Amino acid sequence: MSSVEADFDRLALLDDEGWTANNHYHSSLLKFVPENCEDALEIGCGTGAFARELARRCRRVVALDMSAEMIRVARSRSTQFDNLEFQLADAMTWSFPQSHFDFICSIATLHHLGQRELFVKMREALKPGGVLVVLDLVKSNGLVERVLDVIGLGVSGGLRLMHNGRLKPPPEVRKAWEQHGKHDHYSTINQMRALADEILPGSNVNRCLLWRYALVYRKP
Tens digit of each residue's pLDDT (9 = 90 or more) over 60-107: 999 999 999 999 999 999 999 999 999 999 999 999 999 999 999 999
Domain count for the chain, please give it: 1
> Residue 166 domain-assigned?
no
> Residue 96 domain-assigned?
yes
Work out the average pLDDT over 125-136: 98
Write 65-69 long-range contacts (CB < 8 A, 24+). Answer: 65/8, 65/89, 66/1, 66/4, 66/5, 66/8, 66/90, 66/91, 67/5, 67/8, 67/9, 67/12, 68/5, 68/9, 69/8, 69/9, 69/10, 69/12, 69/13
pLDDT tens for 152-205 read 999 999 999 999 999 888 888 887 777 777 777 899 999 999 999 999 999 999
Q: Please give the residue range of the domain that contains residue 47.
A: 2-141+174-218
> Residue 213 domain-assigned?
yes
> Residue 68 domain-assigned?
yes
> Residue 77 domain-assigned?
yes
Q: How many helices (H) and strands (E) does the chain have?
A: 8, 7
CATH code where residue 22 lies? 3.40.50.150
Residue-level length of the chain: 220
d(C-alpha 75, C-alpha 96), whole Å:
22
CA 50 to chain centre: 9
> Residue 123 domain-assigned?
yes
| In the predicted structure, residue 128 carries a pLDDT above the cut 80 | yes
pTM: 0.93
| In the predicted structure, residue 45 carries a pLDDT above the cut 80 | yes
Residue 53 CB contacts under 8 Å (≥ 6 apart), including other chains: 26, 30
| In the predicted structure, residue 10 carries a pLDDT above the cut 90 | no
d(C-alpha 96, C-alpha 200), whole Å:
17
The SS3 of residue 58 is coil
> Residue 154 domain-assigned?
no
> Residue 156 domain-assigned?
no
